[in-house]
Amino acid sequence: MTSTDARPTGNSMRRLAGWLDRHARVRLAMLLAAPMGWLVVAYLGSLTLLFLNAFWSRDPFTGQVVREFTPNNFVEILTNPLYRTVTLRTVAMAVAVTLTCAVIAFPIAYYMARVASSRTKGLLAVAVVMPLWASYLVKAYTWRLILSNDGVLNWLLSPLGLRGPGLGDNVIGLWLVFTYLWLPYMILPLYAGLERIPGSLLEASADLGGRGLTTFRRVIFPLVVPALVAGSIFTFSLTLGDYIAPSLVTTTQFIGNLIFLNFGVPDLPFAAALSIVPLVIVVVYLLVARRMGAFQAL
Amino acid sequence: MDRLARSLLRLSTIVVLLFIYAPLALILVYAFNASGTSAWPPAGYTLRWVQDAIENTALRQALLTSIEAALGATVLALMLGTLAAIAVTRHRFFGRETISFVVILPISLPGIVTGMALSTSFATTGIPLGLFAIIVGHATFSIVLVFNNVAARLRRTAQSLEEASGDLGADSWQTFRYVTFPTIRTALLAGGLLAFALSFDEVIVTLFMAGGVKTLPIWIFESFRLARQVSLVNVVGLVAILLSVIPVLVASRLTQDSGGVTGARG
């Protein structure tokens, strides 16, 4: 490959390319035009339209969207106890799932980061990442098979005289499903966070008389808080916006179900107003997470 | 660390891996389960559902739609992600940090917000939903996958190679064609495979964009309630898992060797 290679394009293209070499700003503008056009105009523009729609309304007779400002959607969401209950239930589920994932992820992440040989470490990392990519819908659906009345869980529990949560209005099953679905998102940042702790710190703690638990509580835990928060961004945010898993394993409604329901009516303005609720919660969560240094741990 | 703690950690690692993999193994069993219900233990072994799945035309159509959508989204994500990655790694400018943020935003907000936002703007501007809308939605959150892969590769490759190319008289197109592109080729392939896998499986945003078009995940979502279709869903589920996991395995192999200068050859 030398500079005497045949030019792939015509003379005018070459002149343009030469001109671009001398004008780095123009080159940069051309690089950025398409991706930023797409993300800023199409995506941020869509988010803006979502906000606008939230303040519009739907004509009950024609079903058409009336493009006039009205706060009614938000008044309804704030005053109707149904929406408060569903929002609180969704947030409680997101918190429960996040805490459960953190507790389950810690031992395996610790084993991967500080106990396993480097070969095992690599294998375990792949083993944890792989299921993350396996079809989300199929994974959620599999739990329908597991939780069903004549399914595996009840078959396993029946010798003990117990029964699983089933597929009714019970939300324990959904809690299991969410924990299952998002667990790898917690393991990975936690593993990275634990691996970054210098071994000398743990030795220092031991030398100063810190036992296992003391070292964990006063050295390890404070150092992995950013990683924990980073993982929790995924577990929290993904739970908050999910409407597929709830519709698969429970009859109880979550905020996502209500949004999708109103989208289907179709009452776009009300669905838009409802989707502002998880958006605001996640943005607040992200701001708190950033203060706790989670973005450096991602 | 004492021996007891070590074995406890090892044990819990094994338990967690079992928890992660048992449900995936289960779908493998159900795909060949003779009874055709969710009853456990399975009643025997059959290939009937596999045959049914192959002969089902609605299913085949859904698979084709999914592949079309994933290819479209991947091509768009490759172009947009690469442009953004080159801009961020090879230029210094005001607002550079903001670009990484805007690229990550669509995948960090809950899918339902992205789905609602894009669907609302299609409705407001009067563009019909359907395959095109699905591709737009998938491309939007796939850009980050290509961007991350290509930007990581470019950060590891010395910019001096490109400068040398310029000093030797190559213009920017030739430098891209003969220096930059060979460097990022495997990163592009890895990012593209990830984008394909993500798009192929996506359902949360897709349901907002589809307007009646059925992708494979939508077919699964609509079929799991129909008792008649459950055994088909099991087979399709197995195929969907394989089709999304295989590209990712290939992608992880591609990014394993750090590429760099030697990776640029050939």
Residues of A in contact with B226 (CB under 8 A): none
Nearest to B121 among A35, A45, A107 (CB): A45
Query: What's the pLDDT score for residue B263?
Result: 27
Nearest to A104 among B16, B203, B207 (CB): B16
Residues A97 and A207 in one domain: yes
Regions of chain B short of the pLDDT cut 50? 257-266
Residues A128 and A202 in one domain: yes
From A81's Cα to the closest Cα of chain B, the distance in A is 22
Helices (H), B157-229: 160-167, 172-175, 181-201, 206-209, 216-223
Query: What's the pLDDT score for residue A3?
Result: 46
From B133's Cα to the closest Cα of chain A, the distance in A is 12
Nearest to B110 among A43, A150, A241 (CB): A241
Query: What's the pLDDT score for residue B259?
Result: 34
Here the tokens at position B236 are 């399709």
Residues A36 and A123 in one domain: no
pLDDT tens profile A141-198: 899 989 988 889 999 998 888 888 888 888 999 999 999 999 999 999 999 999 988 8
CA distance A111 to B40: 34
Q: ipTM of the assembly?
A: 0.85
Nearest to A244 among B116, B123, B204 (CB): B204
**To probe the interface with B, which of A15, A21, A43 has the most B CB atoms within 10 Å?**
A43
pLDDT tens profile B56-107: 899 999 999 999 999 999 999 999 999 999 999 888 888 888 888 888 888 8
The partner residues of A66 in beta bridges, in order of sequence, read A57
Query: What's the pLDDT score for residue A107?
Result: 94
Q: Which residue has the tokens 């969401």?
A: A77
Residues of B in contact with A260 (CB under 8 A): 112, 207
Here the tokens at position B78 are 């490759």
Query: What's the pLDDT score for residue B224?
Result: 80
**To probe the interface with A, which of B8, B13, B88 has the most A CB atoms within 10 Å?**
B13
Look up the CATH number of domain B57-263. Answer: 1.10.3720.10
Contact B110 A40 (CB under 8 A): no
| DSSP assignment of chain A | --TTSPPSS-HHHHHHHHHHHH-HHHHHHHHHHHHHIIIIIIIIHHHHHHHHHHTSEE-TTT-PEE-S---HHHHHHHH-HHHHHHHHHHHHHHHHHHHHHHHHHHHHHHIIIIIS-HHHHHHHHHHHHHHHHS-HHHHHHHHHHHHSTTSHHHHHHGGGT-----SSS-SHHHHHHHHHHHHHHHHHHHHHHHHHS-HHHHHHHHHTT--HHHHIIIIIHHHHHHHHHHHHHHHHHHHHH--HHHHHH-SS--HHHHHHHHHHTT-HHHHHHHHHHHHHHHHHHHHHHHHTTGGGG-
Contact A39 B23 (CB under 8 A): no
Residues of B in contact with A241 (CB under 8 A): 109-113, 204
Number of other residues whose CB lies within 10 A of the CB of residue A293: 13
Number of other residues whose CB lies within 10 A of the CB of residue B193: 22
Give the residue-averaged pLDDT of A229-237.
Answer: 91
CA distance B35 to A56: 52
Query: What's the pLDDT score for residue A188?
Result: 92
The partner residues of A58 in beta bridges, in order of sequence, read A65
Residues A45 and A108 in one domain: no
Query: Long-range CB contacts (< 8 A, 24+ apart) of B39-44?
Result: B39/A150, B39/A151, B40/A150, B40/A151, B40/A152, B40/A155, B41/A155
CA distance B195 to B217: 16
Total of domains in chain A:
2
Nearest to B220 among A31, A115, A141 (CB): A141
Q: Which of A39, A54, A69 is where one domain is finished?
A: A54
**pTM recorded for the entire structure:** 0.87
Residues A142 and A28 in one domain: no
Here the tokens at position B206 are 């897709």
Query: What's the pLDDT score for residue B241?
Result: 87
A207 alpha-carbon distance from chain centroid: 40
From B188's Cα to the closest Cα of chain A, the distance in A is 16
Answer yes or no: are the C-beta atoms of A172 and A205 closer than 8 Å. no
**Is residue A85, in this structure, part of any structural domain at all?**
yes
The partner residues of A65 in beta bridges, in order of sequence, read A58
B-chain residue closest to A8, CA distance: B174
CATH of residue A238's domain is: 1.10.3720.10
Q: Does residue B260 come out as left (phi exceeding 0), alpha (psi in the -120 to 50 range) or beta?
A: left
Residues A177 and A50 in one domain: no
Residues of B in contact with A47 (CB under 8 A): 113, 117
Here the tokens at position B213 are 């078009």
**Is residue A1, in this structure, part of any structural domain at all?**
no
Query: What's the pLDDT score for residue A202?
Result: 83
Identify the domain containing residue A188 by its residue range.
80-297
pLDDT tens profile A254-292: 999 999 999 988 899 999 999 999 999 999 998 888 888
Flag whether pLDDT at A1 surpasses 50: no
**Is residue A64, in this structure, part of any structural domain at all?**
no
Query: What's the pLDDT score for residue B266?
Result: 25
Residues of A in contact with B202 (CB under 8 A): 136
Contact A137 B23 (CB under 8 A): no
Contact B177 A110 (CB under 8 A): no
Residues A38 and A177 in one domain: no
Could you give the maximum distance between any two Cα atoms of chain A, in Å? 82
Answer yes or no: are the C-beta atoms of A164 and A147 closer than 8 Å. yes
Q: How confident is the model at residue A298 (pLDDT cuts 50, 70, 90)?
A: low
